[in-house]
Structures are given as C-alpha cells and as structure tokens.
Amino acid sequence: MSANISIDYITHTFKGQSSPTLKDIELQITPGEKIALIGRSGCGKSTLLHMLAGLLMPSEGCVRIHGHQVSKPSAKWNMMFQKPSLYPWMNVRQNAELGLVFAGQRDNTKIDRLLDLVGLADKADTSVQSLSGGQQQRVALARSLATSPEVLLLDEPFSALDAFTRASLQDEVADIASREDLTMVIVTHDIDEAVAMADRVLIMSANPGRIVGEMTVGLPYPRNRAAHEFSLQREALMNQFESLVGDETDEASQEPEQDPAPSAQKAA
C-alpha cells in the first residue's frame, strides 16, 4: 500500500545558526507518486529527506504520512543512502534480511523474491565484499524493500556508480516503485535522473531552502533516454532550474580555501 505524504509548513533552523536552512516548505505528495528533489549543494535536500524519514524533527511544522505526524524512523518509510552501508562479514541474503530479522519476521520466501526482483538471485550466498558497487546498492535496495515500506526515500543513491549501472538502476527502482505501489522521493543533483525517474520534479532554492518550482514529467515508464520527448523534458527542466536557481553557487564551491598547514606556515 502506498502512502500520501503531507509536508506542513516546515521551517528549520539548526542549533547555533542564525538563519533557517528550510523555510515554509508546503507540499502534498499523492500515494504512489514519484518525486525528485533537485537543488544546489547545501540547499537543504538531505535535511528535508531526513525529516520525511523521521530522523530529524523540524523546528516548525511537521511531516504527516497517512495523516499521522512523523516523529521517529519506521520500517514503513525507508531511506536509502549514497553508500549502501552493508555488513561486510555477512552474505547477500543476510544483509538483505536484516530489517526483517530485527523485526522478528524472518521470511526466506520474501527474501528470495526480492533478490530475484533486484537481479541477485544467484548471489544470495555470496559475500557482499565481492560485489560491485551497483550490486551492493541492489542489496541495499532489497533490504529497504524487505520490510514492505510504503515510502521509499533515496538520497543520491546512484551517484557513486558508473553511467550505465546508474541508468539501469534508475529504471529498475522506478519500475519496482510502481510494481510494489510505493511512494518515492529521490534527492538528486542529476537532471537526467530526475527526468528518468520522477512523475514530478521539485526545484529547491538555497538560503533559505524553499521549493521554488516544479515540473511534471508526463512520459511513460520505462523512460527512453534517446527519445526526442525525453530530451525536450530534460531541456525544459534545465531551463527552469537555471532561471530559478541558476545564479546560486553551490555551497561546496563557496567554501574558503583552506589555510596552509601550520607546519607549512612555519617553514615559509
């Protein structure tokens, strides 16, 4: 069963900071919708995603899933990170079933089905250390899906992968989200990824982080990146992004240059 998500006027100021990181974020996500959140580095995308996951409480406003305020993490709203964070001493199956084991609900049939779904049926007994980065992310995906979440939250989950693996995982995850009836929110820097995976793309500004624009991607799945319509949507999103937040600089590139090391200063 998929979930509707309501973000009710979230404003967030981190402790010790004078200005808010997020400001007046108001958003409705319908059950089964696939949302991509794009914005410059440091604009607050992960902060907002952590709030959806119940990992961080906003200073003002709240997140509701099925009308209930999210106040803690739950297996029903699962988060997948950039790094798969697997246990290296466990095999594929043991890593994939971890959430179920913690919940006291070990279910071999379910894990078999999920490993099949993510294309790892023949690797169940393999050590995760011998897997490629893409395969490791597939294990993390199977683990996220094992507890039957209603919401799948993804924070740049494919950014460390090569372009081909990334594209096939984007298609697979969008397909799995449709088949498993999940509501999905993916944070990404990648315009192509947003167009490939999302029904609706939200554009976030920085300082403070606000949702300043959105675009509906009305293309059927799986999306054909070579199609003219795909290029048109990509260009439209790029233009909208540039016109809304194009003059912002990534926080990472704003950082002052490091002072020379003290020893180097002494040597000078």
Ligand X SMILES: Nc1ncnc2c1ncn2[C@@H]1O[C@H](COP(=O)(O)OP(=O)(O)OP(=O)(O)O)[C@@H](O)[C@H]1O
- Judged by CB under 6 A, which of 3, 7, 20, 21 binds ligand X? 21
Q: In terms of CB distance, is 151 or 204 closer to Mg ion?
A: 204
> What value, to the nearest 5°, has the Cα angle with vertex 139 and ends 111 and 230?
110
Handedness of CA 67, 173, 178, 116 (dihedral sign): negative
Question: Which segment (41-49, 88-96, 140-148, 228-236) binds ligand X by CB under 6 A?
Answer: 41-49
Q: Does 59 bind ligand X (CB under 6 A)?
A: no
Could you tell me the two tokens for 45? 């995308």
Per-residue x/- marks for ligand X, 247-266, CB under 6 A? Answer: ----x---------------
Shortest Å, Cβ 195 to Mg ion: 20
- Judged by CB under 6 A, which of 7, 34, 36, 42 binds ligand X? 42
> What value, to the nearest 5°, has the Cα angle with vertex 90 and ends 89 and 94?
165
Give which of 240, 249, 243, 138 is closest to 191, Cα–Cα.
240
CA distances 136 to 86, 129, 144, 230, Å, are 8, 8, 12, 29
CB distance 91 to 128 below 8 Å: yes
Per-residue x/- marks for Mg ion, 30-69, CB under 5 A? Answer: ----------------x-----------------------
Cα separation of 238 and 214, whole Å?
A: 12
Q: Does 43 bind ligand X (CB under 6 A)?
A: yes
Question: Could you tell which of ligand X, Mg ion, none binds residue 251, using a CB distance below 5 to 8 A set by kind?
Answer: ligand X
CB distance 154 to 6 below 8 Å: no
- Judged by CB under 6 A, which of 25, 34, 36, 44 binds ligand X? 44
Could you tell me the two tokens for 111? 């894990």
Question: Which segment (44-52, 100-108, 114-122, 254-262) binds ligand X by CB under 6 A?
Answer: 44-52
Q: In terms of CB distance, is 47 or 183 closer to ligand X?
A: 47
List residues binding ligand X (CB under 6 A).
14, 21, 39, 41-47, 251
